[in-house]
Amino acid sequence: MPDACEPLPPRRPLRWLWLALAYLSLGLAVLGVIIPGLPTTEFVLLAAWAASRSSPRLAAWLENQRVFGSLLRNWRDGGVITRHTKLMASLSMLVALLIMVLTVNHLPSVAFAALGMSVGATWIWSRPEQSKS
């Protein structure tokens, strides 16, 4: 039982919100591995960011994961995205766009998706491939 004079630990009212965001993002990242066009990297980064604000245990687990750990360590060490990851992301977006072109009859929707994927790919390819250290 804490002493009556000891202050209570600070309450973190947003902790559960951050934790929910971390798990939701992680779930979407896992789906992104399977579904072409759904990003994986961005959702893993969002999950790690939210986990760092809510659960040190989840944040450590993510960073030590076999699949996502190296991605997070590379990002933490200078915003690095490996060439392999860039290629896989670009190919995934290209496959998703091809599927849209073949199945969606609404040209503005396809054009908007293509524009979004182009912006995403441009940003991904603008990131360094190696740490500067």
Taking the C-alpha atoms of residue 73 and residue 71, their distance in angstroms, rounded to an integer, is: 6
Q: Please, which pLDDT band fits residue 103 given cuts at 50, 70 and 90?
A: very high
For the segment 36-84, what is each residue's pLDDT rounded down to a tens digit? 777 887 888 899 999 999 999 999 999 998 888 888 888 888 889 889 8
Q: Could you give the percent of the chain with pLDDT greater than 90?
A: 48
pTM, entire model: 0.68
Q: Using alpha carbons only, what angle is made at residue 109 by residues 105 and 114, rounded to the nearest 5 degrees?
A: 110
* All structural domains of the chain with their residue ranges: 15-126
What DSSP line would sit under 64-99, residue for residue?
T-TTTHHHHHHHHTTS---HHHHHHHHHHHHHHHHH
The yes-or-no verdict on residue 101 having pLDDT over 50 is yes
